[in-house]
């Protein structure tokens, strides 16, 4: 025979929440546990402060991309100015 666990109020609330949230047979505690595991992968405790690993890597990539965009924007502005200057010379 299988062991039958008595359902307490928390377990019942969890089941109703899971059904309402479209989690199917997944329970709320299992869902929360999976979120906490994902959080641990994103943020690692190091020393006294909190240091994020994946997040910091992605933020650094975004910063690099933004710097590159700014650099390219300057080239675009220079190009447009030179085009205006060229068309003034051609029209003169």
| Per-block mean pLDDT, blocks of 10 residues, the chain (92 long) | 60 68 65 81 59 77 93 88 90 78
Are 45 and 75 found together in one domain? no
Are 69 and 40 found together in one domain? no
CB 91 within 8 A of CB 85: no
SS3 44: strand
Are 79 and 45 found together in one domain? no
Q: Establish if 92 belongs to a structural domain.
A: yes
Are 57 and 92 found together in one domain? yes
Q: Establish if 37 belongs to a structural domain.
A: yes
Instruction: Give pLDDT, residue 22.
Output: 63
Element (H, E) at 65: helix 54-91
Are 43 and 72 found together in one domain? no
Q: Establish if 63 belongs to a structural domain.
A: yes
Instruction: Give pLDDT, residue 77.
Output: 86
Instruction: Give pLDDT, residue 50.
Output: 55
Instruction: Give pLDDT, residue 55.
Output: 76
Instruction: Record the pTM.
Output: 0.38
Are 18 and 35 found together in one domain? yes
Domain range holding 36? 8-49
Q: Establish if 43 belongs to a structural domain.
A: yes
């Amino acid at each position: 025979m299988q062991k039958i666990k008595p359902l307490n109020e928390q377990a019942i609330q969890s089941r109703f929440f899971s059904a309402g949230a479209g989690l199917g047979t997944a329970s709320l505690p299992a869902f929360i546990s999976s979120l906490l595991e994902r959080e641990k992968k994103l943020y690692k405790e190091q020393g006294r402060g909190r240091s994020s690993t994946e997040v910091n890597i992605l933020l650094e990539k975004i910063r690099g991309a933004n710097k590159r965009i700014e650099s390219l924007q300057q080239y675009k502005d220079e190009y447009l100015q030179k085009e205006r200057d060229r068309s003034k010379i051609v029209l003169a």
